[in-house]
Amino acid sequence: MLEIKNLHARIEDGAEILKGINLEIKPGEVHAIMGPNGAGKSTLSSVIAGKEEYEVTDGEILFEGDNIIEDAPEERAHKGIFLSFQYPVEIPGVSVTNFIKAAMNENRKANGLEDMPAKEMLSLIREKSELLEIKKDFLSRSLNEGFSGGEKKRNEIFQMMMLNPKLAILDETDSGLDIDALRIVSDGVNKFRNEGNAVLLITHYQRLLNHIQPDFVHVLADGKIIKTGDKSLALELEEKGYDWLLK
Ligand code: ADP
Ligand code: MG
Ligand code: MG
């Protein structure tokens, strides 16, 4: 599904941050990326999603066989790449439901489909919100306005479930992952994952991986993947930290 080859990237006119990343993600897999602060984890997720402040200086990102490096972020989203929003915007007057309806139909339009019939949309919203234990009044609230950390997470996971991407990239920063948010994210990922999709989960937290069984765990340090293993690597990191790998 995703194949990253020798990826180098930098901030526009700035220092190199990604220094030769190789990563292959197949359908049905969950990959976790861990690593010390400042390693380039968020940069990697931004570069896959196509954020324009970063410049790819070498290498390839193939999504379902096509190089997507020249694609705008929206095009990548329409192809089925989802990136959770690290700093979600507040949109007063636009409800959670209306925002997702617009996003869904925008996505369909870009893929040559008509708007989803209202009835079908409603039943999909009902199905996904029940699955995530989202209450009705939450759906009618203004997007992100006054949302707690847990509510922001719930909204992100709801968006992921509704948009049903092929590849979901979740960048879980060190902030805002309290017990509630941790459960929402791990439940959400476990309910989302299936044989046809894939998840790239970026986290500082070994704790999160106690609830999600990753197929692969990668350690990113100084812009490179320095070690890849299975779930047991996460446990080893919890015990030993990163220093033994950095030497
Ligand atoms: P991580 O998510 O692993 O903590 P980041 O990808 O956020 O790391 O950052 C990697 C390095 O690149 C850090 O040194 C950070 O300061 C720098 N960096 C990332 N994005 C920018 C940016 N937009 N402007 C300046 N420096 C940046
Ligand atoms: Mg950081
Ligand atoms: Mg980060």
- Give the tens place of pLDDT for each residue, 185-221: 889 999 999 999 999 999 877 888 888 999 999 999 9
Nearest atom in ligand 1 to the alpha carbon of residue 54 is: 23
Helix axes 149-163, 118-131, angle to 10 degrees: 130
CA angle 26, 27, 32 (to 5 degrees): 65
Atom 24, ligand 1: residue with shortest CA distance: 11
Q: In this structure, what CATH number is given to the domain that contains residue 14?
A: 3.40.50.300
Phi, psi dihedrals of residue 128, rounded to the nearest 5°: -70, -35
Mean pLDDT for 163-168 is 96
Q: Quote the pLDDT of residue 122.
A: 95
Q: Which pLDDT band, with edges at 50, 70 and 90, does 175 fall under?
A: low
Strand partners, 31: 200, 216
Residue 223 DSSP SS3: coil
CA distance 1 to 198: 8
Q: Quote the pLDDT of residue 86.
A: 54
Q: Quote the pLDDT of residue 198.
A: 98
Q: How far is the CA of 203 from the centre of ligand 2 (A)?
A: 10
Mean pLDDT for 149-153 is 83
- Residue-wise pLDDT for 75-113, tens only, equals 999 999 999 865 567 788 889 999 999 999 999 999 999
Q: Quote the pLDDT of residue 173.
A: 66
Atom 25, ligand 1: residue with shortest CA distance: 11
Tokens found for residue 56: 């790819």
Q: Quote the pLDDT of residue 246.
A: 85
- Residue-wise pLDDT for 121-140, tens only, equals 999 999 999 988 898 899 99
Atom 15, ligand 1: residue with shortest CA distance: 38
Q: Which pLDDT band, with edges at 50, 70 and 90, does 147 fall under?
A: confident
- Residue-wise pLDDT for 41-70, tens only, equals 999 999 999 999 999 999 999 999 999 999
Q: Count CB atoms within 10 A of the CB of residue 24.
A: 13
Q: Quote the pLDDT of residue 164.
A: 95
Q: Quote the pLDDT of residue 107.
A: 93
Q: How far is the CA of 148 from the centre of ligand 2 (A)?
A: 21
Candidates 10, 21, 42: which one to mutate for ligand 1, based on the most atoms within 8 Å of Cβ? 42
Q: How far is the CA of 87 from the centre of ligand 1 (A)?
A: 15
Q: Quote the pLDDT of residue 180.
A: 77
Q: Residue for token digits 């990253």? A: 4
Domain count, the chain: 1
Q: How far is the CA of 38 from the centre of ligand 1 (A)?
A: 6
Query: 156 CB contacts (<8 Å, ≥6 apart)?
Result: 84, 85, 88, 170
Domain span including residue 116: 2-246
Nearest atom in ligand 1 to the alpha carbon of residue 40 is: 6
Query: 130 CB contacts (<8 Å, ≥6 apart)?
Result: none
Nearest atom in ligand 1 to the alpha carbon of residue 36 is: 3
CA distance 24 to 207: 24
Q: Which pLDDT band, with edges at 50, 70 and 90, does 182 fall under?
A: confident
Nearest atom in ligand 1 to the alpha carbon of residue 171 is: 2
Q: Quote the pLDDT of residue 21.
A: 98
**Which position has the higher pLDDT, 13 or 130?**
130
Q: Taking the model in full, what pTM does it have?
A: 0.93
β-strands 2-11, 54-63 pairing? antiparallel
Of 70, 89, 80, 84, the residue nearest 110 (C-alpha): 80
Phi, psi dihedrals of residue 56, rounded to the nearest 5°: -85, 125
Q: Quote the pLDDT of residue 12.
A: 85
Q: How far is the CA of 43 from the centre of ligand 1 (A)?
A: 6
Rg (CA), the chain: 18
Pocket-forming residues, ligand 1, beta carbon under 6 Å: 11, 17, 35, 37-43, 53
Atom 21, ligand 1: residue with shortest CA distance: 11
At residue 162, does pLDDT exceed 80? yes
Q: How far is the CA of 35 from the centre of ligand 2 (A)?
A: 10
Nearest atom in ligand 1 to the alpha carbon of residue 44 is: 6
CB 227 within 8 A of CB 233: yes
